[in-house]
C-alpha cells in the first residue's frame, strides 16, 4: 500500500522542508514519524537529507538559503507537482499570470524543476522526473497524504490550476465552508479552500498521515512542536494544523487513506 514507481502528470509527488535548523528538524521528524535520514551532499558542506521509511524516500529536509533568512522567510514545506516538461509548464504558468521565480533548471541527473508563484501568491514546484520520481511511499503513516491550497480567490485559483494542469474540481459538501477536492485524471489529488487567517499569505499546506491524532499531537508537544488548531473531525478523518520547533507549518491526518 502506498508504494509508487511513477506519477501521472499533475500529481503531487514530492515534499521537502527548507529549515533554519537542519539537524534539529531531522531529529524532530525522526522522533515524530520514524524517519531515517540519508544525507546526500549537494555542494560544499551542504546536504539534501532524504527522509525514508523502510528504505523508501518519503520527503527531504534541506537548509534554508541565506537570502531567504535575510528576507525573513520562515521555514516552510514545499509541494512538488509532476509534469512531462518543466519548460512547457513554466512557460504556460507565466502566460496564465504566475511569477516563475526560478526558471526550469536541472537537478543533477535526477530531474528538472522550477519554482512558481501562482497569481494569488502561493508557491509550488514542478518536477520533471529523470532518474528520481519523487516519493517512493505515500498515503501511509509517516508519509505525506494530501496537499491543500489556502487562497484568497477560490474561483481564480481553480481557473489557474485547471488551465495549467487540467485539474477538475469536486465540491466537498460536508464542509461548512466552500472546499474543493482536486481531481487529476480521476484521482483525488488535494484540496483548495479560502484563506481566512488575516496576515497569512496564500500557501500550500502538506498533510502527513498518522495512526492516532491525539497521540501524534502529544508527541509533537513533547518534541517542542506547536498545535495550531487542535484536532478537528472532518468526517472521513481527524486533522490538525501544527508547527515544528523551527516554525514550519504542516498538518497531521488520521483517517481514510487511498492506496
Strands 187-194 and 144-151: parallel
**pLDDT band at residue 196 using 50, 70 and 90 as cut-offs:** confident
11: phi then psi, degrees, rounded to nearest 5: -100, 140
Q: Each residue of 200-238: pLDDT tens digit? A: 899 999 999 999 999 999 999 999 999 999 999 988 899
Which CATH number is associated with domain 144-255? 3.10.180.10
Express as a percent the part of the chain with pLDDT over 90. Answer: 86
Alpha-carbon span 211 to 193, nearest angstrom? 25
Where is 151: in which H helix or E strand?
strand 144-151
In contact, 168 and 183? CB cutoff 8 Å: yes
In whole angstroms, give the CA distance from residue 153 to residue 213.
30
Residue 63 has pLDDT above 90, yes or no: yes
- Are the folds of 12-129 and 144-255 the same? yes
Structural class in CATH, domain 12-129: alpha beta
Tens of pLDDT, residue by residue over 74-85, are 899 999 999 999
Q: Is the dihedral of CA 234, 136, 246, 153 positive or negative?
A: negative
What is the rounded average pLDDT of the residues 31-55? 94
pLDDT band of 90, cuts 50, 70, 90: very high
Domain ranges of the chain: 12-129, 144-255
Q: What's the confidence (pLDDT) of residue 1?
A: 67
Cβ-in-10-Å burial (0-12, 13-18, 19+) of 174 comes to: exposed
Residue 236 has what pLDDT?
87
Predicted TM-score (pTM) of this structure: 0.96
Q: What is the mean pLDDT of residues 8-34?
A: 98
How many angstroms separate the CA atoms of 9 and 164, rounded? 11
Average pLDDT over all residues of the chain: 95
Confirm if 168 and 162 have CB atoms less than 8 A apart: yes
Percent of the chain with pLDDT over 70: 99
Report the candidate in 29, 51, 55 with the shortest Cα–Cα distance to residue 40: 51
List % helix, strand, coil for the chain (3-state, nearest 5).
20, 45, 35
Element (H, E) at 31: helix 22-33
What's the rounded Cα separation, in Å, for the pair 217 and 18?
22
Q: What strand order describes the sheet that includes 12-19? A: 36-43, 46-53, 56-63, 12-19, 76-82, 123-129, 111-117, 99-107
| Grid cell of 241 as nine digits | 494544523
Q: What is the mean pLDDT of residues 134-153?
A: 97
Amino acid at each position: 500500500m502506498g508504494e509508487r514507481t511513477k506519477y501521472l502528470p499533475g500529481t503531487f509527488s514530492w515534499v521537502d522542508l527548507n529549515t533554519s535548523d537542519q539537524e534539529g528538524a531531522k531529529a524532530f521528524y525522526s522522533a515524530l514519524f520514524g524517519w531515517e535520514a540519508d544525507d546526500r551532499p549537494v555542494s560544499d558542506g551542504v546536504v539534501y537529507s532524504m527522509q525514508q521509511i523502510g528504505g523508501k524516500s518519503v520527503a527531504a529536509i534541506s537548509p534554508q538559503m541565506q537570502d531567504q533568512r535575510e528576507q525573513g522567510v520562515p521555514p516552510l514545506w514545499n509541494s512538488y507537482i509532476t509534469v512531462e516538461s518543466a519548460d512547457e509548464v513554466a512557460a504556460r504558468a507565466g502566460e496564465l499570470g504566475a511569477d516563475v521565480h526560478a526558471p526550469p533548471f536541472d537537478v543533477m541527473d535526477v530531474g528538472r524543476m522550477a519554482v512558481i508563484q501562482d497569481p494569488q501568491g502561493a508557491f509550488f514546484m514542478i518536477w520533471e522526473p529523470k532518474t528520481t520520481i519523487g516519493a517512493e511511499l505515500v498515503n501511509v503513516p509517516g508519509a505525506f497524504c494530501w496537499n491543500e491550497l489556502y487562497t484568497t480567490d477560490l474561483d481564480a485559483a481553480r481557473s489557474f490550476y485547471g488551465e495549467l494542469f487540467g485539474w477538475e474540481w469536486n465540491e466537498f459538501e460536508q464542509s461548512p465552508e466552500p472546499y474543493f477536492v482536486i481531481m487529476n485524471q480521476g484521482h483525488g489529488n488535494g484540496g483548495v479552500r479560502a484563506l481566512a487567517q488575516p496576515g497569512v499569505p496564500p500557501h500550500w499546506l502538506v498533510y502527513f498521515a498518522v495512526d492516532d491524532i491525539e497521540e501524534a499531537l502529544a508527541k509533537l508537544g513533547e518534541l517542542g512542536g506547536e498545535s495550531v488548531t487542535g484536532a478537528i473531525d472532518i468526517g472521513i478523518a481527524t486533522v490538525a494544523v501544527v508547527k515544528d520547533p523551527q516554525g514550519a507549518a504542516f498538518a497531521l491526518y488520521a483517517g481514510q487513506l487511498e492506496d
